[in-house]
Amino acid sequence: MGLKLPKVIGHRGACAYAPENTIESILTAADIGAEWVELDVMLTQDGVPIIFHDDTLDRTTNGSGNVAETPYATIRELEAGSWYADSFAGIKIPTLEEALEILIDKNLGLNLEIKPTPGRERETAESALDILSKYWDDHEHLLISSFQLSCLETAQDMAPDWYRGVLFDDDEDMPENLRDLFEYVDGATVNIGKKIVTRELVEDIIDFEKPVLVYTVNDAQLARQLQGWGVDAVFSDCPDVIAQNLLKVH
């Protein structure tokens, strides 16, 4: 048994076509043929895991303020689609449970990124993993990732047989002893931002004999270049376009 990664993973669903991290975005990803999606999970003030990316509500909802300071009863009433397009007006922020039900129904793999508020790293990971354990039993199609080492440690403690991805977005965050860190959390993948990806870095990670994933790639030429360097998968807002343009490897 191993991690069954596709070449392209839908970023926050398929957010070139629907509002990010919504049920509509997940359904769109399924409709256009994505095999996996990446979603973000964070906690409301009262500890409900929701699918949401930003620390604040302002960009993608008609609400404002910090997610971590807003109770779920308030968040569930917010509107999370019209910022994107009028045709999506009225849609809601999903809970992790609601998203999992759709993912399972549509047979989609999941990269769940744990995005904690500072100080709630372990709590966020524990809450998300607790719900995941009630719904998800397909280990080959689940990757838990985070920028926060303590979230990955929690995942390792609670669910050691689920695969973990280590996230990096900035050169300053890349430790000199990347292999040691990777082995410490028993990582399954290294997920790196496109702004720091180099051929040398990819080759260094390949030496670990682990998959390299790069986000967020919406340019077909870049995707093919990364594929040529040995990158195993890319995250994309338009996974259908990128998948159609990748080189066919037999």
For residue 11, indicate whether it is catalytic. yes
40, 21 Cβ separation under 8 angstroms: yes
Within 8 A by CB and 6+ apart from 246, the residues are 7, 8, 220, 223, 224, 227
Q: Which amino acid is at 72?
A: Y
Helix (H), strand (E) counts: the chain: 9, 9
Q: CA-to-CA distance for 111 and 189, rounded, in angstroms?
A: 11
For residue 250, indicate whether it is catalytic. no
Distance of CA 76 to the CA centre of its chain: 22
- The single residue of 11, 139, 141, 250 carrying the catalytic annotation is 11
189 beta partners: 165
Rg (CA), the chain: 17
Per-residue tokens: 178: 């990347």
18, 88 Cβ separation under 8 angstroms: yes
Residue 152 exposure: Cα atoms within 13 Å on the Cβ side? 21
Return the active site residues.
11, 53
